[in-house]
């Protein structure tokens, strides 16, 4: 068992005496604070913070991280406050301890919500100081190592959360060793029956593999000696969880996975890596399309290495990773290597820079997300990336998750580029915005003053693109709801000689206070969305003496619509109103205004509800195309549908949908969905159709 004296002895290897003394003092402070508290295993509670600090010491983390590790549970489990810690150990340590404490569980209605909320808090804590997540990782690691004292249900819950959240974060921060241990321990706890079976299967095949592995390793070492290249060759064992995941995701048999032999060649410098690559390619034939250069283009978490697959002896595939000593350490420790290898004047390493950029992106997504569940939905794609690498027209490299589209690329360049993109060129050729990108392509975005298209949500994959599109649409919906709410309220007020501009501010302020809204725009938005009736709001705004005399029915003055009001005004599909039709409106909760034809059967009941019913008229300047449905009866004839379509298009109408059915042996019924400009245009279309000899009847469908 680790003691404080053993721990501080190891610290002296890389830390000054004053810093070691501070860490020792933090241990005794924690010991006193946790006095009388015990772990489930029966050990003194202080053994846990000491073990957490030991995990961080192995990463050579700085003294402030180790002090925070010693104290990470005192705020939650004892009467000590953040201010107490700040007085004893300084502001930085107090903030770290507070950040870790805030990541602890709170009660939520669902497990998913709890996990999402925890991750959201983790992102905020990481933004302030990225060491918070490293202390939390070490805390989770010790909990995983002592998981066996928990009940089976608790073990599975903690293991699932570790595999879904902590292991992907460790991977995103480039911490390979931490990720592997999380996955191995999580897999064994979550699948107590599958893990031993795969383990037994791995051991059963290791016997016959040993000789072949030894032969390949000897051949690779001899090749390096022959070429005069420095380097050591290591065999790589496949971990149980990675075997299980490959079997499940790629639908491969156990034998197919274990038939691949994996080696790592560690050498001195980058130049030698490429020379070693040439040497092993001359020893065994490379498999086409299986070479990846992560040295020239590092992975998103900072990982660097050359990957190649060879046809070995007896046609057995051999996977080889070639990297320098420094790259190997960086691959194992990721962001922790920033503290592990830095000298006092060193700049942050690539893993550290990339991690900070990722955290900034998380904050941007969080700002735009509606709630924690939406936030974690955006983040999940970023936590499980199989990257592709594409180029800007100027040759800069951008890494994106597999399956990304030009819209994802545009948002990765800049939010404004994404919001205004209208088209793209892939390798200098025009391409659809929904096309999946492939590594090595050059992408050029064509932008204009347009807005994001809601249809993009159907194909974008990056969290940044998805959250920005949703954020824009929410804002657009809000501004349209405010505009519609203002028009509805002013229309009601104008019937009695009032307008929002001449209602006293005190009256508006009083109403906002009564309705729990901060500003008038919030109230207008609620009216526009149909959640609050303009009629009732108007009654409360006008002077009480007149308000009491306000008639139940609104006056007959109608509100003009232009047809381009946006998402908060829709045209009913039951009657398809078009300019020229007498129209009325219905305020639907959450959806805004729905426009119907005056004769629509669905308006019969609502007509007597003054809170929801509103008279409308078409604005003289109304433009655009409107959907309408026609029913045509015609005689059976060869090619008659094509003739009918030609007649309609010659009248400058577009056919959106066409369906046919037989009325009897002689006549067919054709149902058409068209777009027209107005009633005059529709009359012209119907006249063209009636002129066809085979047409016996044509009429507009309704309800």
Overall residue count recorded for the chain in this entry: 703
* Angstrom distance (rounded) from CA 384 to CA 459: 17
* Angstrom distance (rounded) from CA 539 to CA 527: 14
Treating both helix axes as pointing N-terminal to C-terminal, what angle do 63-71 and 82-89 enclose, rounded to 10 degrees? 140
* Angstrom distance (rounded) from CA 490 to CA 500: 6
Beta strand 306-311 with 626-635 is unpaired
Tokens of 693: 């000899």
Run of H or E including 614: strand 613-618
Which residues are CB-neighbours of 504 under 8 A, at least 6 positions away?
Answer: none
What's the distance, CA 266 to chain centroid? 36
Run of H or E including 335: none
How many CA atoms, within 13 angstroms, populate the side-chain half-sphere of residue 152? 3
Q: What is the DSSP letter of 558?
A: P
The answer to whether residues 25 and 103 touch, using CB atoms and an 8 Å cutoff, is no
Q: What is the DSSP letter of 44?
A: B
Beta strand 569-571 with 592-597 is parallel
Tokens of 209: 């593999």
Tokens of 549: 């005399």
Q: Give the Cα-Cα-Cα angle 311, 313, 317 (nearest 5 degrees).
A: 35
Which residues are CB-neighbours of 1 under 8 A, at least 6 positions away?
Answer: 47
The answer to whether residues 416 and 466 touch, using CB atoms and an 8 Å cutoff, is no
- Going by C-alpha positions, the residue among 551, 591, 553 that lies closest to residue 569 is 591
Run of H or E including 266: strand 261-267
User: Which regions of 383-456 does DSSP assign to beta strands (E)?
Assistant: 387-391, 397-401, 421-426, 429-431, 443-447
User: Is 77 an annotated catalytic residue?
Assistant: yes
Q: Give the chain's count of helices (H) and strands (E).
A: 29, 20
Residue among 21, 35, 76, 269 flagged as catalytic: 76
User: Which regions of 368-420 does DSSP assign to beta strands (E)?
Assistant: 387-391, 397-401
- In Å, the largest CA–CA distance within the chain is 104
Residue among 31, 62, 77, 221 flagged as catalytic: 77
Tokens of 481: 């709801």
Q: How far apart are the first and last CA of the chain?
A: 79
User: Is 76 an annotated catalytic residue?
Assistant: yes
* Angstrom distance (rounded) from CA 94 to CA 82: 6
Run of H or E including 561: strand 559-561
Alpha carbon separation from 43 to 8, 31, 54, 151 (Å, rounded): 21, 12, 17, 18
* Angstrom distance (rounded) from CA 14 to CA 11: 6
Catalytic residues: 76-77
């Amino acid at each position: 068992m680790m003691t404080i004296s053993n721990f501080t002895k190891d610290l002296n290897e890389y830390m000054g005496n004053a810093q070691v003394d501070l860490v020792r003092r933090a241990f005794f402070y924690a010991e006193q604070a946790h006095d009388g508290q015990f772990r489930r295993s029966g050990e003194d509670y202080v053994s846990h913070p000491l073990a957490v600090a030991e995990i961080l010491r192995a990463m050579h983390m700085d003294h402030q991280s180790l002090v925070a590790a010693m104290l990470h549970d005192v705020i939650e489990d004892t009467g000590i406050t953040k201010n107490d810690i700040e007085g004893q150990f300084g502001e930085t340590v107090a903030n770290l301890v507070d950040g870790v404490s805030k990541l602890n569980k709170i009660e939520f209605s669902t497990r998913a919500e709890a996990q999402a909320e925890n991750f959201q808090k983790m992102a905020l804590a990481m933004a302030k100081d990225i060491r918070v997540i490293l202390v939390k990782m070490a805390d989770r690691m010790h909990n995983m190592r002592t998981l066996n004292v928990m009940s089976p249900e608790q073990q599975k819950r903690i293991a699932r959360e570790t595999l879904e959240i902590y292991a992907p974060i460790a991977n995103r921060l480039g911490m390979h060793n931490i990720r592997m241990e999380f996955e191995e321990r999580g897999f064994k706890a979550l699948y107590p029956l599958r893990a031993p079976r795969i383990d037994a299967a791995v051991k059963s095949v290791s016997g016959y593999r040993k000789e072949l592995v030894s032969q390949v390793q000897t051949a690779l070492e001899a090749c390096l000696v022959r070429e005069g290249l420095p380097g050591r060759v290591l065999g790589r064992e496949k971990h149980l969880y990675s075997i299980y995941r490959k079997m499940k995701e790629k639908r491969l048999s156990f034998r197919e996975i274990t038939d691949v032999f994996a080696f790592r060649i560690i050498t001195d410098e980058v130049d030698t890596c490429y020379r070693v690559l040439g040497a092993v390619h001359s020893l065994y034939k490379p498999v086409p399309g299986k070479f990846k250069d992560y040295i020239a283009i590092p992975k998103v978490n900072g990982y660097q290495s050359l990957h190649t697959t060879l046809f070995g002896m007896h046609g057995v595939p051999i996977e080889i990773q070639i990297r320098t000593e420094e790259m190997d350490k960086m691959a194992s420790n990721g962001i922790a290597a920033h503290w592990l290898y830095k000298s006092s004047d060193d700049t942050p390493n690539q893993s550290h820079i990339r991690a900070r950029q990722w955290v900034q992106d998380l904050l941007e997504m969080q700002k735009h997300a509606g709630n924690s569940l939406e936030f974690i939905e955006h983040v999940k794609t970023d936590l499980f990336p199989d990257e592709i690498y594409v180029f800007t027209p100027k040759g800069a490299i951008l890494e994106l998750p597999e399956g990304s589209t030009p819209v994802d690329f545009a948002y990765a360049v800049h939010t404004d580029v994404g919001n205004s993109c209208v088209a793209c060129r892939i390798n200098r050729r025009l391409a659809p915005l929904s096309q999946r990108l492939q590594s090595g392509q050059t992408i050029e975005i064509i932008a204009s003053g347009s807005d994001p298209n809601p249809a993009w949500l159907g194909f974008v994959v990056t969290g940044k693109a998805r959250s920005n599109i949703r954020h824009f649409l929410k804002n657009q919906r809000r501004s349209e709801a405010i505009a519609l709410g203002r028009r509805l309220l002013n229309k009601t007020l104008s019937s009695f000689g009032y307008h929002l501009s001449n209602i006293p501010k005190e009256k508006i302020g009083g109403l906002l206070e009564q309705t729990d809204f901060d500003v008038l725009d919030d109230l207008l938005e609620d009216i526009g969305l149909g959640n609050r009736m303009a009629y009732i709001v108007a009654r409360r705004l006008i002077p009480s003496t007149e308000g009491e005399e306000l008639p139940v029915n609104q006056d007959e003055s109608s509100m003009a619509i232009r047809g381009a009001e946006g998402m908060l005004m829709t045209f009913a599909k039951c009657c398809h109103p078009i300019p020229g039709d007498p129209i009325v409106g219905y305020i639907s909760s959450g959806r805004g205004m729905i426009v119907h034809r005056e004769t629509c059967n669905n308006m019969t009941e609502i007509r007597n509800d003054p809170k929801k019913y509103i008279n409308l008229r078409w604005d003289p300047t109304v433009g655009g195309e409107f959907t309408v449905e026609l029913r045509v009866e015609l005689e059976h004839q060869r090619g008659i549908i094509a003739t009918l379509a030609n007649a309609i298009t010659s009248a400058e109408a577009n056919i959106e949908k066409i369906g046919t059915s037989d009325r009897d042996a002689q006549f067919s019924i054709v149902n058409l969905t068209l777009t027209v400009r107005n009633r005059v245009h529709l009359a012209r279309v119907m006249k063209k159709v009636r002129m066809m000899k085979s047409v016996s009847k044509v009429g507009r469908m309704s309800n």
